Structure 1
Amino acid sequence: MMTINKLFKSFLVVCVVFAASCDNDITDINTNPNGVNLNEGNPSFLLTDVMANTAMDVGNKGYSDPLSAFVQYTQKDSWGNNNYDWTGSGWEGYYGNLRTAKLAKERSVELGFKFHEAVATILMAHNFALLTDFYGDVPYTEALQGDGEILLPKYDSQESVYKGAIADFEAASAMLSSNSGSLEVFSATQDIFFKGDAQKWIKYANSLALRYYMRLSEKDPGFAGAGVQAILAKPLISSVDEEAAIPYLGISPDNSQPSNGQQGTASNFTRVKPAATLTYRLEELNDPRRHIWFDAVKIPIKVVPAADVPGGVDDVVEDGVRYINEETLAANNFKIYNPDTWYQDRLNGLTMIDTNSVYVGIPVSNQGSQPYTYNLNPNPVQGGGNPHVSLMNPMFDAVSGNNLKARVFSYAEVCFLKAEAALKGWGTDAQGNYNKGVQASLDTWGIGSEYADYIGNPDVAFNGSLEQIIEQKWIANFSSASEAYLDWRRTGFPDLKTGPFAKSTVIPVRFVYPTNNSTINRDNYYSALNNLETTSHSGDVPGYIENDTPWSKPWILQGVAKPW
């Protein structure tokens, strides 16, 4: 599988110029002020650009973006967003990808390139699906009229965008299958997803259809069930080697591991910390992935009887351990962190002390300000170090590496989707597919040999519940926060809670439309707002336009009990 590479040579000028002209809102006309004829664009190079941008969006959202904090993989102790007041981002990037992919598709049709046409169709459907995932109703059927025919596109219903994307995934798969003996070459250096392997694109398109049928499983189970049963009979991603996990190239921030400390400043890396939700759950499960993802805390804290504090003082560091006299806790409003009580403890004004001797994460929304003071940090300044909280594994400090990939679609996800479908009666062998999902995740992080011990853990061994399937899928989706978030929104699992200092008592369920939509495309924007359902939390934070809030429910959540 090829690395993410946007640094193409001079023959990519057309692609780069096109992408540069698409940084504005969706109503922009696709004219090129630089004089390059877009109608002569090479579809291969255009599609490479869309693949790279799509992969980087998944990678950025997956690791250090606020979405990673939403699903409690990571927290930032400085210059971050841990309090659930993020309005979301991606609109301009998705529509930029769509313009480029549309041009690639048109050029492919002109040239009779069926392979390229199918890939363009898949990439367009995926970007439209991501838009509706996060925002709700979005411009769809009228969105890409770049010749001035439609300057102010209508917002199509979320239902129509989802079902249109699924139909396109299936149509592209069928196009590749029916033309399998006569497809043109798609160079391995340009196809950074699958190196020009049409069979893998077929499996990818079918797997995307499975993902989105399951996305609709709560809202429209009749449609979803029939679709899942049909798609399970088709080829799907069937091994770690076939998954869409694209290694970072590491040449520039646009193609490197997100928040590495080698580009920009060292604090890009050090301010990203594990979330306590994840560290404690992995510890409870004796999960070997915690050793791959986190670094051991530099100086652990031990709360001990006065007689056991070295030197007879109340608070001292000796031999790399900080000892605190337990008799001083109450007077200082300190309390040892307990994952079952910490929320109320913080509301009661207590300061948490995490005495975990290996991996110490930061609780979500632990305080109203940036949590660089957490766990009695002796150097409590923004951007400073904290020896009492774990860093991420040092491998994430690099620009690239064996495990540093944009994980667009994993084999583990396919397995967990099939396990969930079996629970619903739409497929078979829930336990077998669940086990394969666990194995696949361990394999992808290079620790597949740990599977036998891990699956033997009573809390990991399959118990037949949806909650367990989604929890293991949540763990497996580490660094792919988009899917973890959308699974949580659909199922309510894992049972994630906002912290005591969050903007709302519930996690947001959508992104807010870009502000300029309310002025540039005003009538269509306000029409779309009518399709959002106001909830009791829509007014938790002031300043939004009517019900265009992160807590208003789009179509997919209306009339559905989950996630709240």
Structure 2
Amino acid sequence: MKNKIVLLTLVVLIGLAGCEYSEFEENYTDPSKVSETSVEKQFTGFMIANREYVLPSYWNYFVVLRITLNRYTQAIGWVNEENQYVPGSAAINDRWNNYYQFLAQYRELEKVYADLSDQNKQDYRVFMITAATYLYDHTQKVVDLHGAIPFSDAGMLSTNGGDYSESYPVYDEPEAIYTKMLDDLAGFADELRTMEINPGILTGFESQDLINRGDIDMWLKYINSLRIRMLTRVSDVPAFSDRAVSEINTILSNPANYPIVTTNDENISFRIHEPGTLIGATSFQSGLEDWDGNVAGKALLDHMLNNDDPRLTYVFEPGEEAEGEFLTLDPLLSSSVQTELIGTNTMAIYNRTTLSRNQYFPGMLINASQVHFMAAEYYLEAGQDAQAQQHYEMGIEESIHYYEMLRNMSNNLISPEPVPVTEAAIESYLADEDVSWDAAAGASEKMKLIAEQKWLHFNVVQPNENWAELRRIEMLDLEFWEDQSNQQSLPPNRWIYPGSEQTYNTENYQQVQPNDNLTRTIFWDN
């Protein structure tokens, strides 16, 4: 890891039982001063350990996403420059270190749980199932960035009694990590559904759970929706394809036992209940807007403009000097011309009221639209066209209402008033030649429609999902300026490992070093 601190297991003591969100900061104890913890407190400490990569934060959006994923998907427009397709070390290092601090928190939770009596283990099992679910959600993201990562042996310094020599973690192959996560989540779906939870334990769980506030039905929807996401990601891999078809079918055909997220009311997210708690009130604003990181991507905005997309005025706004016109930045222009255009303040930008200055903007984990689009893909591949169309159109409708919902929850009014969404506008959009399911000629064109709608829906809000699906499906035909000065002339296929791995985890890193380059594809990227 970056240094031995990253390998340390961090223990966070947070007295949250009965606390309000406004009390987070005063209750967040310095990990270096903690001497004891409990399942409940460690559970919440684990949940907030990676909050800056869930809730929109300055560091993630400005340092990491602005120069990597948001460019690779053309969710944004930017000024071309040499070396722009090589992820920066600051982005890679911080994302990596944050994940392993987060994983170390989980290992400490496992350690505390292991010391319980058998009866207490049974009582507290709900904490372990839900914690593992949250861990696997974010582990998938890191695997999808790098491929093989240290996992099964990582974050174990405290468990190993402080023995550094036993705590340098080996790299797990990504296929093995996916298999482990899918096996566990399938078991969780049945175990949690049939579990009888001690009422007293449930009360504590409701207080400590920052995601679903102790709602078991919502956790079941999270688990099963996450399973579909992982299964869809590996559905074209021969070793996983049969499993993906079988398990997705089991989930979709049996909603009583395997509920999923189907409406925006059921979205799984890390919510802000009071501005200024957990993440600074202006963190998203500076993260997305600084250095013109919120300039609209031309292809994405043009798609919305050309097809009268009802989301247009909720997702974007005209540049301040554009006199109400949505102007886009061509990614193939020279850097000097692009710089001049951006300097005129006429380029369209992401809607500040809906997104970057919305102090209630949630940290999105799973939402209805992405689940519907995954279901549409499954049914299309299964030859069930009517069901595929139903989920495709429901995904679009939920996406439209999702951005309408985000705008309505905002406490900021800087952006122009959006065009009200009407049923007629939605119906007209669904009938548009470039959007209509019925107008598409064959399965390939319909798959491209699904890919486009995922891309439109994810944009800068779910950048990890956006880049993963763009690489997996490869149907958007985006044009990029080629950097002739660098061997990496176009966007990469993966991120390399941080340099700290070569320095501090040398022996294990040597096993993956031959594949540590930007052109190597992730195993599901065919």
Match of 1:415 in 2: 372
Larger radius of gyration: 1
How is 1:369-380 mapped onto 2 (pairs within 5 angstroms)?
Answer: 371-374=338-341, 377=343
Which of 338, 348, 351 is matched with 1:393 structurally?
351
Quickly say closer, same or farther: Cα 1:194–1:65, change in 2 above 3 A.
Answer: farther
Which of 422, 426, 434 is matched with 1:451 structurally?
426
1-side partners of 2:42 and 2:85: how far apart?
40
How is 1:67-146 mapped onto 2 (pairs within 5 angstroms)?
Answer: 67-76=69-78, 83-87=84-88, 89=92, 90-108=95-113, 110=116, 111=120, 112-146=123-157
How is 1:135-534 mapped onto 2 (pairs within 5 angstroms)?
Answer: 135-146=146-157, 147=160, 148=162, 150-180=166-196, 182=198, 184-185=201-202, 186-188=204-206, 190-220=208-238, 221-232=241-252, 233=254, 234-248=258-272, 250-251=275-276, 254-256=279-281, 259-261=284-286, 268=290, 270-300=292-322, 358-364=325-331, 366-368=333-335, 371-374=338-341, 377=343, 386-395=344-353, 399-401=357-359, 404-425=361-382, 429-446=387-404, 447=421, 449=423, 450-462=425-437, 463=440, 464=443, 465-478=446-459, 479-501=461-483, 503=486, 504-530=488-514, 532=515
- Native 8 Å contact 1:243 1:409 kept in 2: yes
- Native 8 Å contact 1:56 1:254 kept in 2: yes
Determine helix, strand or coil for the equivalent of 1:42.
helix
Pairwise CA distance, 1:555? 3.0
Determine helix, strand or coil for the equivalent of 1:482.
helix
Percentage of identical aligned residues: 18
Quickly say closer, same or farther: Cα 1:418–1:6, change in 2 above 3 A.
Answer: farther
Amino acid of the residue matched to residue 411 of structure 1?
A
Amino acid of the residue matched to residue 278 of structure 1?
L
Pairwise CA distance, 1:426? 8.0
Match of 1:545 in 2: none
Match of 2:13 in 1: none
Amino acid of the residue matched to residue 505 of structure 2?
N
- Native 8 Å contact 1:442 1:448 kept in 2: no
- Native 8 Å contact 2:318 2:346 kept in 1: no
Amino acid of the residue matched to residue 239 of structure 1?
T
- Native 8 Å contact 1:58 1:482 kept in 2: no
2-side partners of 1:282 and 1:199: how far apart?
35
Instruction: Say what the alpha-carbon RMSD is for the aligned residues.
Output: 3.3
Amino acid of the residue matched to residue 265 of structure 2?
D
Range moving further from structure 2, 178-187 or 511-520 = 178-187
Pairwise CA distance, 1:7? 6.2
TM-score, normalised relative to structure 2 = 0.77
- Once the two structures are superposed, residues 277-308 of structure 1 have per-residue CA deviations (whole angstroms, 9 ceiling, x without a partner) of 211111122112121122223444xxxxxxxx
Match of 1:342 in 2: none
Determine helix, strand or coil for the equivalent of 1:457.
coil
Pairwise CA distance, 1:178? 2.1
Determine helix, strand or coil for the equivalent of 1:373.
helix
Quickly say closer, same or farther: Cα 1:274–1:258, change in 2 above 3 A.
Answer: farther
2-side partners of 1:167 and 1:134: how far apart?
22
1-side partners of 2:186 and 2:67: how far apart?
31
Quickly say closer, same or farther: Cα 1:443–1:84, change in 2 above 3 A.
Answer: same
1-side partners of 2:182 and 2:349: how far apart?
40
Amino acid of the residue matched to residue 49 of structure 1?
I
Determine helix, strand or coil for the equivalent of 1:127.
helix
1-side partners of 2:518 and 2:395: how far apart?
32
Q: Which runs of 5+ in 1 are unaligned?
A: 18-32, 301-319, 321-356, 378-385, 533-547
Of structures 1 and 2, the one with the larger relative CO (CA 8 A, separation 6+) is: 2
- Once the two structures are superposed, residues 242-262 of structure 1 have per-residue CA deviations (whole angstroms, 9 ceiling, x without a partner) of 11233445417835565415x
Amino acid of the residue matched to residue 399 of structure 2?
S
Pairwise CA distance, 1:407? 2.0
- Native 8 Å contact 1:294 1:391 kept in 2: yes
Pairwise CA distance, 1:135? 0.5
Q: Which runs of 5+ in 2 are unaligned?
A: 1-19, 405-420
Pairwise CA distance, 1:485? 0.6
Quickly say closer, same or farther: Cα 1:513–1:63, change in 2 above 3 A.
Answer: closer
- Native 8 Å contact 1:58 1:407 kept in 2: no
Matched, 1:56 2:47: no
Q: Which is richer in helix?
A: 2
Quickly say closer, same or farther: Cα 1:6–1:83, change in 2 above 3 A.
Answer: farther
Quickly say closer, same or farther: Cα 1:42–1:406, change in 2 above 3 A.
Answer: closer
Match of 1:550 in 2: 518
How is 1:6-85 mapped onto 2 (pairs within 5 angstroms)?
Answer: 8-13=24-29, 16-17=30-31, 33-34=32-33, 36-38=35-37, 42-50=41-49, 52-56=51-55, 60=60, 64=66, 66-76=68-78, 83-85=84-86
Quickly say closer, same or farther: Cα 1:294–1:35, change in 2 above 3 A.
Answer: closer
Match of 1:308 in 2: none
- Native 8 Å contact 2:221 2:260 kept in 1: yes
